[in-house]
Amino acid sequence: MLFHRFAKLILRGLLAILLDYEVVGLENVPRKGPLIVAINHMNFLDPVLATVFIPRDIVSMAKAELFGSPVVGLVFRLYGAFPVHRGEIDRTALREAMAALKEEKALLMAPEGTRGGDWRLIKARDGVAYVALKASVPILPMAISGSERFWKELARLRRTKTKIVVGEPFVLVPRKDRVTREQLSEMTTEAMYRLAALLPPQYRGVYSDLSAAREEHIRPYKGGS
């Protein structure tokens, strides 16, 4: 991950020029052990911000289209990304994700699966909950706001005011030995409310009503500090 660490330094310098950013909650990041970092996804910058500011080596899923060019694909690979085909069950990507977690790395995932039509949260898919359960690893919610204005602010030669909030890690615990699709969906919803609670109200989208949040499957994560 030497290239990854060097690239993080370069990217952090660029971000300091382009963004007026604030990062809150980095003390919540477990410094060791396998981990899923779950982010909201509004802009191409969001996964970059997550990989730069999480104080660990981190690998990430990226849409397969980004790997179309051999040179660009190699750069992404060296940075720790691997391709995932959206809209289908990509077993190759799943194997890579599980392998990274088995090596006790941090894995970046966007539960929504894709960017919605605007910057508000859309209904998440069950992939993050599925991987977290299958690998028995904690989830760390990371909320990003402001990055959706990047291109407009850049056109005005202004730095984009961006805030990153890292929440407390948690684990998902099924009620029964056999996890049904319905129960997996419930876990996904509970995890997304954890993420939504870190965002300003106008970003929460389909998870706006925090009074509807339940934590029947969520437990605090107590290890890996």
Q: Do the Cβ atoms of 136 and 110 come closer than 8 Å?
A: no
**pLDDT value at 225 more than 60:** no
Q: Which residue has the higher pLDDT, 200 or 5?
A: 200
Under a CB-based contact definition with an 8 Å cutoff, are residues 131 and 179 in contact? no
d(CA 57, CA 4): 7
Dump pLDDT digits (tens) for 119-166. 899 999 998 999 999 999 999 999 999 999 999 999 999 999 999 999
Looking at the predicted structure, is the pLDDT value of residue 222 above 60? yes
- What is the pLDDT averaged over residues 69-77? 69
Burial (0-12, 13-18, 19+ Cβ within 10 Å), 36: buried
Domains of the chain: 2-220 (3.40.1130.10)
Residue pLDDT, tens place only, 96-122 = 889 999 999 999 999 987 766 688 999
Beta-strand ranges (E) seen in 16-131 are 19-24, 35-39, 58-63, 81-84, 106-109
- Label residue 187 left, alpha or beta by phi (over 0 means left) and psi (-120 to 50 means alpha): alpha
Share of the chain above pLDDT 90, in %: 64
